[in-house]
Structure 1
Amino acid sequence: MKDTCNAAAQTLTEVLAKFATAGTVAGIEPFGSGHIHDTYWVKTAESTSPDYLLQRVNHHVFKDVPALMENILLVTAHLRNKLAATPEANPAEEVLTLLPTRQNQAFYQDGDGNFWRMFLFLQNTRSYDLVETEQQAFEGGRAFGRFQALLVDLEPGLLHETIPHFHNLQSRLRLFDLALVHNHEGRAQETAAEIAFVQERAETMLGILTLGQEGKLPLRVTHNDTKFNNVLLNAQDLAQCVIDLDTVMPGYVAYDFGDAIRTTVNAAPEDEEDLAKIQVNLPLFEAFTKGYLQEAGTFLTEKEIESLTMGVTLLPFIMGLRFLTDYLGGDTYYKIKHPGHNLQRARAQFRLVQLLEEKQEHLGAIIQKTAQNCRLTAQGQS
């Protein structure tokens, strides 16, 4: 075990040497709660030198890492340029900064085929896996709404599709059907209720995709992974920076809104085992919606605003479907902490879908009222 730890430390040290860092490394430790990449906080000894985040990119999930990194360079440059022209903005603090390699590349590929990248570490920031206050919810909504608004003039077609058909429900359902056929270790037999849950709702949940295919919803540059912990807040719990840009690509705004709501209004973790603890916090929903529409309401079409309600149930449904598909296929995508972890995650997401379905009409009314208020406020300021 000691030899394994020493080998891992040596690998990290060798990788660090490939990047144009400043200062003396004082420590390297695992960082964050992400499911996909391996992330390390690189601390430096000197107060004049920044700390860094080093990541080994999961190239089994993101099969074209160079294309992914091109997206990140394009998006961060666009955000930085837009903020530079905005009074009181601070691009260095509000946009992720990639650190180049000593060969001036955006990433380093080691001899084993692993891809590595580094970001400047944003000091005095925090993220939350669970939303604790309405202020936090509002700031999360404001952060993602502003992110979309700043990118509204970036042509979606310039971005690579880093995970093809990521939120495409038709594609997800096809993968689900394949996993059912594969039926790893006979797992379909123990998940009959979850399989029926998916099949009962599959057609209804295709609404956003259908509207998009009919040209009634425009493609935008969207984040596509708007978990609340992908917003960094400052010491005053004000939104500072949207992070985890791996899935920024063309999409529909309702995807971002729905995924953010999924992790904002539920007080329980996304893998909560006790389904009775899963609830929908309406004040948090209202606060997030207000923050989001305050920023994004200026460019959204009426049809996009209507679609937000559909996104609220669609995204936890898709996440539950993805967890269930991975479980049926043998747990090959998500990191798991124990056997059955993906099934536990799927059950938690499906319970959230049920609760959101029960409140869907009320949630839609909140969205419409908030959008109207934001429009009136904007008209009063013009």
Structure 2
Amino acid sequence: MKTETLRSIIGHFAVKGTITSITPFGSGHINDTFLAETAEEGATDYILQRVNHAIFPRVDKVMENMERVIDHLKAKYTSMEGYDPSRNTMTIIPTLEGALYLFDEETGYWRVLERITQSRSYDQVTDVTQAYEAGKAFGEFQKLLADLPGEPLFETLPNFHNVAWRLENFEKAVADNKAGRAASVQAEIDFVRSRAEEMKTILRLGEEGKIPSRITHNDTKINNVLLDEQDRALCVIDMDTVMPGFVHYDFGDAIRTSTNTGAEDDKDLRKVSMNINYFEAFTKGFLSQTADTLNEVEIEHLAGSAKLITYIMGVRFLTDYLDGDNYYKIAHKEHNIQRTQAQFKLVESMEQQYEEMQEIVKKAALCGEAPC
């Protein structure tokens, strides 16, 4: 996008200082993100984002959710010793008219956030300290939002982690067989069906009222946590998908993305497994913040949620493969089945280590904030 266009867009927001450059920023795949740097020493730099309207059709509700969550977190951090509300959560910069976002007819929906300096993020976990701090950050996020007042947040992506809905779409894709691929992936279809009832456990517990709906982030990759220069948890970012859900969705997705020894689409399945040390570190960090907030049933099923979310991703990739690759961007014609197989291999690794995972959760829950 032309620099002149970006300068015109950010000119509609209440930014301070002289903008010297606007350049692409980060590794996100959904929104278009740019870093706007300022000239003055000590002045704030800004993150300019174009929100993907195709993925988030209700940008107004996305931003309302963000504002409510950020305001609540800032109020909490203000009263917590050793915290800085301007660095421990994001800050939305309004438009000159006081709106949370800008709609431009030619280029779409835009927002501006303050850049949090002296921070860093990682696309992959490389040591247990990072895993622990990510767990601590997402756990604290859960804990502090447990008493958010008012109506439930808007569901920005309906049925996002609803396994029953995902399985309905999958079975329809098998039956329709639009791309003529079903016969070639029978082993993967059988994998899905053999575990379908087990994977509905958390959904059933919610329907029975045994686990509560909470405010969940729903995209708990490690690169959605900013760490300080000593790799200590600083701030949870990327709140487009913050909405009602079960705590297991956040825990499970974090384990799926943070503990895989291979790539999400690894062709060499021998590289794919769950790193139990990263699992333990993340779990300790997460439960150091949430052990007193979650109920016994929630804790009992945390380990199972890692299998669930990894399974759901495999189902989604397989569904898209059967449909002819209409949803996910692919690098080659077998990309979605390659992704499917990698996710299912990760599920198998979790199944093989499941008893140890459960023991780790139990021990970490008993420890709480005390060192284990």
Q: Same fold (TM over 0.5)?
A: yes
User: Are residue 242 (structure 1) and residue 236 (structure 2) matched?
Assistant: yes
Aligned to 2:343: 349
Alignment of 1:105-116 (within 5 A): 105-112=99-106, 114-116=108-110
- CA deviation profile, 1:348-368 (whole Å, cap 9, x unmatched): 211111100111111001111
Instruction: Report the alpha carbon displacement of residue 156 of structure 1 after superposing the two structures with TM.
Output: 7.9
Unpaired segments ≥5 residues, structure 2: none
Alignment of 1:180-219 (within 5 A): 180-219=174-213
Aligned to 1:252: 246
Aligned to 1:225: 219
Instruction: Report the alpha carbon displacement of residue 182 of structure 1 after superposing the two structures with TM.
Output: 5.0
CA distance in 2, matches of 1:132, 1:156: 39
RMSD between superposed Cα atoms in Å:
1.9
Out of 309, 315, 323, the residue aligned to residue 317 of structure 2 is 323
CA distance in 1, matches of 2:25, 2:324: 27
User: Are residue 365 (structure 1) and residue 359 (structure 2) matched?
Assistant: yes
User: Are residue 276 (structure 1) and residue 270 (structure 2) matched?
Assistant: yes
2:296 alignment partner AA: E
1:136–1:181: structure 2 CA closer, same or farther, 3 Å change rule?
same
Aligned to 2:308: 314
Out of 95, 103, 109, the residue aligned to residue 97 of structure 2 is 103
User: Are residue 132 (structure 1) and residue 117 (structure 2) matched?
Assistant: no
User: Are residue 72 (structure 1) and residue 66 (structure 2) matched?
Assistant: yes
Instruction: Report the alpha carbon displacement of residue 154 of structure 1 after superposing the two structures with TM.
Output: 1.4
1:183–1:281: structure 2 CA closer, same or farther, 3 Å change rule?
same
- CA deviation profile, 1:230-270 (whole Å, cap 9, x unmatched): 11111100010001111111111111111111122112222
1:329–1:358: structure 2 CA closer, same or farther, 3 Å change rule?
same
2:341 alignment partner AA: R
1:31–1:356: structure 2 CA closer, same or farther, 3 Å change rule?
same
Q: Is the 8 A contact 2:314 2:339 kept in 1?
A: yes
CA distance in 1, matches of 2:238, 2:152: 19
Aligned to 1:41: 35
Q: Identity of aligned pairs, percent?
A: 49
Secondary structure, in 3 states, of the residue corresponding to 2:179? helix
User: Are residue 286 (structure 1) and residue 271 (structure 2) matched?
Assistant: no
Aligned to 2:143: 149
Worse overlay, 136-145 or 196-205: 196-205
Q: Is the 8 A contact 1:36 1:334 kept in 2?
A: no
Aligned to 1:175: 169
Instruction: Report the alpha carbon displacement of residue 274 of structure 1 after superposing the two structures with TM.
Output: 1.7
CA distance in 1, matches of 2:265, 2:93: 34
CA distance in 1, matches of 2:15, 2:89: 19
Tell me how many residue pairs correspond in the alignment: 371
1:48–1:338: structure 2 CA closer, same or farther, 3 Å change rule?
farther
- Please give the TM-score of this superposition, normalised by the length of structure 2: 0.94
- CA deviation profile, 1:145-166 (whole Å, cap 9, x unmatched): 1000000111584200001111
CA distance in 2, matches of 1:118, 1:330: 37
Worse overlay, 57-66 or 328-337: 328-337
Aligned to 2:78: 84
User: Are residue 18 (structure 1) and residue 5 (structure 2) matched?
Assistant: no
Secondary structure, in 3 states, of the residue corresponding to 2:200? helix
CA distance in 2, matches of 1:194, 1:26: 52
CA distance in 2, matches of 1:137, 1:74: 28
CA distance in 1, matches of 2:192, 2:106: 39
Q: Is the 8 A contact 2:70 2:90 kept in 1?
A: yes
CA distance in 1, matches of 2:173, 2:150: 31
Q: Is the 8 A contact 1:226 1:260 kept in 2?
A: yes
More helix by share: 1
Q: Is the 8 A contact 2:152 2:244 kept in 1?
A: no
Instruction: Report the alpha carbon displacement of residue 84 of structure 1 after superposing the two structures with TM.
Output: 0.7
Q: Is the 8 A contact 1:35 1:334 kept in 2?
A: no
Q: Is the 8 A contact 1:134 1:287 kept in 2?
A: yes
Unpaired segments ≥5 residues, structure 1: 1-6
- CA deviation profile, 1:51-82 (whole Å, cap 9, x unmatched): 21111111111121111111000000011111
Out of 46, 51, 60, the residue aligned to residue 45 of structure 2 is 51
Secondary structure, in 3 states, of the residue corresponding to 2:226? strand
CA distance in 1, matches of 2:321, 2:18: 43
Worse overlay, 130-139 or 148-157: 148-157
Aligned to 1:303: 297
2:255 alignment partner AA: I
CA distance in 2, matches of 1:17, 1:184: 47
Aligned to 1:4: none
Aligned to 1:28: 22
CA distance in 1, matches of 2:175, 2:112: 40
Secondary structure, in 3 states, of the residue corresponding to 1:186? coil
Secondary structure, in 3 states, of the residue corresponding to 1:185? coil
Instruction: Report the alpha carbon displacement of residue 113 of structure 1 after superposing the two structures with TM.
Output: 6.5
2:5 alignment partner AA: T
1:154 alignment partner AA: L
